Amino acid sequence: MTLKKQIDTLNEEIILKKDKLDKKVEKTTQYKASNFDYFFFWTVFLGTLGVLGFVLIVNIETNPFMLTLKDQSYGKFLVASIASMVFSLTSVFLHIAGGFDITNKFVYPILSKFCFYTDKQIKKDRMEIKELRQKRYKLEQQQFNEITPKGE
């Protein structure tokens, strides 16, 4: 294969990898930007459910209408409501205390297997593109040296 064809092949490969990388970055950026909204929504939702569940348990003790629920085992319901309140408060605390560091270290790696790409994957792709560009540069230098006559 001639140098010109090798350079053209590398150019095409660089363009394809760059397009894929741009799509990955765009998808990841969109997800990270909207992630806080989802996080806040679920935290508030679970906290509200926990508080309502706890209030309902307290009402069962005082409200005769709720005695039918009391006859059924409501211990599981109490545990679930307290657990959702604890989860909600813990997640809010961690998010405020650690900012996005905790989210970046624990949540994103799990979600990246399903939703988007981690910074490590994006960095790896950028390094591959950089290596391809270096190969192309070397080939262009080699082509230039073949074309240019050597001076005396």
User: In this predicted model, what pLDDT tens digit does every residue of 83-131 receive, in sequence order?
Assistant: 777 777 776 666 665 555 555 666 656 655 665 566 777 888 889 999 9
At residue 30, the pLDDT reads 67
Residues 24 and 27: their CA atoms lie apart, in Å, by 5
- pLDDT, tens digit, 9 for 90 and up, residues 129-146: 999 999 999 988 988 888
Residue 99 gets the label, from left (phi > 0), alpha (psi -120 to 50) or beta, of left
Amino acid residing at 74:
Y
In sequence order, which ranges of 63-152 are alpha helices (DSSP H)? 67-71, 75-98, 100-102, 108-112, 119-147
Q: Do residues 136 and 11 touch, judged by C-beta distance below 8 A? A: yes
- DSSP 8-class letter at 152: -
Model confidence, pTM: 0.47
Q: At what angle do helices 75-98 and 3-62 cross, to 10 degrees?
A: 130
At residue 62, the pLDDT reads 61
At residue 45, the pLDDT reads 72
Residues 102 and 98: their CA atoms lie apart, in Å, by 6
Q: What is the mean pLDDT of residues 59-73?
A: 57
With 0-12 CB in 10 A as exposed, 13-18 as middle and 19+ as buried, what is 81? Answer: buried
Residues 104 and 107: their CA atoms lie apart, in Å, by 6
At residue 127, the pLDDT reads 92
